[in-house]
Chain A
Amino acid sequence: MSEPGAPVAVTPLGAGRFLVETDGRQRVAYGVRAAGATWVFLDGEVTVVAAASASRGRAIGSDDEGSLSAPMPATVIAVTVQPGQRVAAGDVLIRLEAMKMELPVRAPRDATVIAIKCREGELVQPGVPLLELDDV
């Protein structure tokens, strides 16, 4: 797996600890498989390898398929648009709240709202569409 240069030797130490030896220098890394990905901690930095979509959550409004979803489990505080309404890029469409923080769901582009798929007060899960916009 190592790239050209110094070879890397990895020895599992148990309980998620790994001894990493490069060019005679040794360090301890930590690793675990969780949330559909492989997580590695080394020298204060975290790397998530082969992250499944669920592990990082998705940025709000980044979905280009026309539907928008929550980035994490959240409560719908308000739906501020209605089906058929024209919205401009950046408009707040839905307001979510999670972990004491308000998360506005904004329009990723100018569009028309096709359907609302959540209601106020509802606890919504990541990946489940909250609202659909028309195709570009």
Chain B
Amino acid sequence: MFTRVLVANRGEIAVRVMRTCREMGIETVAVYSDADTRALHVTLADRAVRIGGAAPSESYLSHGALLDAARATGAQAIHPGYGFLSENAEFADACRDAGVVFIGPSSAAMAKVGSKTAARQLAEAAGVPVVPGAIPADQSDAAVAEAARRVGLPVLLKPSEGGGGIGMKAVHDAAELPAAIAQARREAEAAFGDGTLYVERLVARPRHVEFQILGDRHGSVIHLFERECSIQRRHQKVLEETPSTAVTPALRARMGAAAVALAQAAGYENAGTVEFLVEGSGDGAAFYFLEMNARLQVEHPITEAVTGVDLVRAQLGIAAGERLPWTQADLSQSGHAIEVRICAEDPGQNFLPQAGVLALYREPSMPRLRVDSGVSEGAEVSVHYDSLLAKLVARGETREAARLRARRALDQFPILGIRTNVPLLGRLLTHPRFIAGDLDTHFLATEAGSLLPAPPAPPPDVLAVAEALAHAPTAGPGAAPPGADPWASLKRARV
């Protein structure tokens, strides 16, 4: 096993990877940009190396700076987390050439599943059903528009190299095509450095259900069951749970076998996720391969919660050449887990990301609750990175127990100073359709009316607290929370 691992990421995922490394007695190396000099992931590592400016291209995306940091600290392996360089085959090769182990799939497997064209062909060859669609060989705007008409509107335009919903555009009307193609292409180029677009038929009322897989270097591939991720905004996941209310044992067996077949066809090693769209529910439901994510997912903790497997530990073992310690028969799902993503965004303004200082930030703590976060009180949320602050994962014997625990935890998760989606998540967890498990990927858009109520007049008890704050001395309780910059409060005290 490695004795020193560099984590080429920031925020909650860097913190989470380091936690397992510490448990295993592996030293950790953090890297940071100028915007993250005092970030949580930096303070928790054994060593920390500055890699460049705040813009991701100057730091967390810089192959050279990361490999220099690995060399300078003697790290034997690099864990890429998710996003940034986690699915970059060139970086995986650069690591190998530098004699550093990349903790993830080989660049060859990454190339097979990372591009939607290649992944789709792979799925078809492996007998896994796919959604009707095409990657136009001619990528001119006119040819992409023609492909969309051939596939049949409504369609979804997706970056061929993408993930996380970035750059995806739904088009319902042929007249919208030129503008949508131009925007999708530009976003794809900005986010992934490749403007190649993929056109896919839009499935009505789909559920997003994905399977976690693990493969080792010795040819074994297993799956760790499903994650239901239908609650999304702008094609980005907001709440995930396992098991899915749509998946029966027979459907689970079919989908799990398809996920494993796909990973085997790709010669896939390490942790990965096979995403499916599900139409309908129960034994007769149809499922279509969507894409494979060649990385650890944001929502991996719910799988850990119901299987008892530490996925980062499994990743480290696989990368070190070990055999998977489980067969499929060894694994089972126990209980239910729900994750909600706490994001710095304003749901009342179409989920506009928010930047600023976390003037007050207190995480809840209770049995069978896990909070993975990359921030602390007083931290500044920068405009340079994504808006995910923390993930709250609640476990229960039943779905209802997990739901009630998650709701209760959100009631004890005050984040003040910038807007977050905490109130929205709380309402979501008590929505009748969510309680009934009646989900599809349009849930948030369809139910926005009841989830995004117009702000009511503040109730008397809230106004009374505001009044108490107004009368408190400026430097008194609540005015300068611990962790806030002392100079900032000094300035306020003078005003």
Contact = CB atoms under 8 A, between A and B. Distances in A.
Q: Is the interface of A mostly helix, strand, loop or mixed?
A: strand
A29 B386 contact: no
A97 interface: yes
Given A71-B352, A98-B383, A44 B346 contact: no
B383 A44 contact: no
A15 B248 CA distance: 48
B460 A3 contact: yes
Interface in B166-184: 166, 179, 183
B419 interface: yes
Interface string A87-105: 0000010010111111100
A8 B466 contact: no
Contacts of A52: none
Interface stretch (B239-247, B252-260, B472-480): B472-480
B51 interface: no
A135 interface: no
Nearest to A14: B477
B193 interface: no
Contact of A10 (B354, B414, B465): B465
B187 A102 contact: yes
Contacts of B383: 72-74, 98-99
B186 A12 contact: no
Interface string B334-371: 00000000001010010011111101101000000000
A34 to B, nearest CB: 4
Interface in B442-495: 455, 458, 460-470, 472, 474, 476-479, 481-482
Interface in B28-68: none
A18 B410 contact: no
A38 B474 CA distance: 12
A24 B472 CA distance: 24
A27 B462 CA distance: 11
A49 B385 CA distance: 28
Contacts of B234: 101
Nearest to A126: B355
Contacts of A43: 411
Nearest to A123: B383
B191 interface: yes
A10 B419 contact: no
Interface in A48-107: 48-50, 56-57, 59, 71-74, 77-78, 92, 95, 97-103
The 4 closest A-B pairs by CB, nearest first: A34-B359, A41-B414, A99-B353, A30-B414
